[in-house]
């Protein structure tokens, strides 16, 4: 199988109990290539969408690591844990919980928008050059600085005794575990994340997801194209610029270009760009992705990522 055959993004439906690194290792073995990465870590206990890039698609990570995420999950109220989820040790004694939908919706509204959030102690954040989870395992004291994240939507799905079902859409870098922990702190009863499933990452949705087993079977069957998002489909909201002949060769050699001297976005369709875009998808006449070009100044763009 050539690089062109496997280059793309595979939306893996990660099962619980394995790390994102484990998934990457499995995909490397299935595709028989080292050129595999992922677009954002998913906690081992969580399930759901883990976009895994292969071949030339690994170079697109820079555009996705801070992208919008969506999750559905369950928060267990009554006690907190050191990991802020169900895999950790209890850090408070169980306490009775009395909750109602109106109060919970009010709390959800207060935590929507731009907020300061302190990452969990068991996280990959660095403290003096070391990962926070390494220090936490060694029970060494340390403090993590709060960071600004954005909660676009936080929706209550239901309350079942001391458990709350919810959905959230948030910016990259948000820890849903911290949301659960902070809700428990506000209620004064403690809480932790009992279940979590990622349902969306950037433009990727659950309808595109495949299991590791399905991917392996597709490779055996020669139907791998049915499992991947091709390079041309990535960054769907990015304007496209079609180039031909010498223009294409110039882009492939990494040379600056001006839109006034090259084909404009939507060439051949009668469409003109409505605004100056930060990046452009440069396509050839066969609708194959040639490069991602970044805006320099005025009408000047530079082929920042060339797919040769």
Over 50: is that where the pLDDT of 97 sits? Answer: yes
Q: Give the integer Cα–Cα distance in Å for 295 and 256.
A: 10
Question: 114 exposed, middle or buried (CB, 10 Å; 0-12, 13-18, 19+)?
Answer: exposed
Overall average pLDDT of the 44-50 stretch: 96
Cα 36 from chain centroid (whole Å): 15
Over 50: is that where the pLDDT of 153 sits? Answer: yes
Q: Do domains 3-67+203-233 and 69-201 have the same CATH topology?
A: yes
What's the N-to-C CA distance of the chain in angstroms? Answer: 18
Whole-number CA gyration radius for the chain? 23
The residue whose two tokens read 């989870």 is 133
Over 70: is that where the pLDDT of 261 sits? Answer: no
Strands (E), 212-288: 228-229, 240-242, 257-258, 279-283
User: What's the token pair of residue 103?
Assistant: 């109060």
Three-state SS string across 29-49, please?
Answer: HHHCCCCEEECCCCCCCCEEE
Q: pLDDT band for position 273 (50/70/90)? A: very low
Catalytic annotation, pick one of 5, 13, 43, 304: 43
CA distances from 126 to 130, 148, 191 (A): 5, 16, 25
Overall average pLDDT of the 146-162 stretch: 95
What stretch of H or E contains 99? Answer: none
Per-residue pLDDT at 308: 74
Annotation: CATH topology of 3-67+203-233: Pseudouridine synthase (3.30.2350)
Q: Give the integer Cα–Cα distance in Å for 94 and 161.
A: 14
Taking the CB of residue 32, how many other CB atoms lie within 10 A of it?
9
Over 70: is that where the pLDDT of 265 sits? Answer: no
Residue 304: phi and psi, rounded to 5, are -80, -35
Over 50: is that where the pLDDT of 266 sits? Answer: no
Per-residue pLDDT at 260: 60
Per-residue pLDDT at 132: 84
**What percent of the chain is modeled with pLDDT above 90?**
78
pLDDT tens across 2-42, in order? 777 889 999 999 999 999 999 999 999 999 999 999 998 99
Question: Looking at domain 69-201, does it have CATH number 3.30.2350.10?
Answer: yes
SS3 220: helix
Per-residue pLDDT at 277: 86
Over 80: is that where the pLDDT of 227 sits? Answer: yes
pTM for the model stands at: 0.89
CA angle 39, 42, 45 (to 5 degrees): 165
Per-residue pLDDT at 2: 75
22 catalytic? Reply is no
What are the boundaries of each domain within the chain?
3-67+203-233, 69-201, 240-306
Annotation: CATH topology of 240-306: 2.30.130
Per-residue pLDDT at 269: 46
Q: Give the integer Cα–Cα distance in Å for 128 and 136.
A: 13
Per-residue pLDDT at 57: 96
């Amino acid at each position: 199988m050539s690089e062109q055959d496997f280059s793309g993004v595979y939306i893996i439906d990660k099962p619980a109990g394995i790390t994102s690194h484990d998934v990457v290792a499995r995909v490397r073995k299935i595709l028989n290539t080292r050129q595999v990465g992922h677009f954002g870590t998913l906690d081992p206990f969580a399930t759901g969408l883990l976009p895994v890039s292969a071949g030339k698609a690994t170079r697109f990570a820079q555009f996705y690591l801070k992208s919008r995420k969506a999750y559905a999950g369950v928060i267990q109220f009554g006690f907190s844990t050191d990991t802020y989820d169900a895999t950790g040790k209890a850090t408070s004694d169980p306490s009775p919980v009395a909750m109602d939908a109106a109060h919970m919706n009010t709390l959800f509204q207060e935590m929507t928008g731009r907020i300061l959030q302190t990452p969990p102690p068991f996280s990959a954040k660095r403290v003096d050059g070391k990962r926070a989870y390494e220090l936490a395992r060694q029970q060494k004291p340390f403090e993590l600085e709060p960071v600004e994240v954005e909660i676009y939507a936080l929706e209550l799905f239901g309350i079942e005794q001391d458990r709350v079902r919810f959905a959230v859409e948030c910016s990259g870098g948000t820890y849903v575990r911290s949301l659960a922990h902070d809700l428990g702190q506000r209620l004064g009863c403690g809480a932790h994340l009992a279940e979590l499933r990622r349902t969306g990452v950037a433009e990727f949705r659950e309808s595109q997801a495949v299991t590791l087993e399905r991917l392996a079977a597709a490779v055996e069957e020669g139907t791998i194209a049915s499992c991947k998002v091709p390079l041309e489909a990535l960054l769907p909201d990015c304007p496209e610029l079609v180039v031909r002949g010498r223009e294409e060769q110039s882009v492939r050699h990494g040379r600056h270009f001006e839109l006034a001297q090259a084909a404009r976005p939507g060439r051949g369709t009668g469409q003109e760009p409505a605004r100056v875009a930060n990046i452009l998808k440069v396509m050839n006449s066969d609708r194959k992705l040639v490069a991602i070009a970044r805006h320099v100044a005025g009408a000047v763009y530079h082929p920042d990522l060339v797919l040769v």
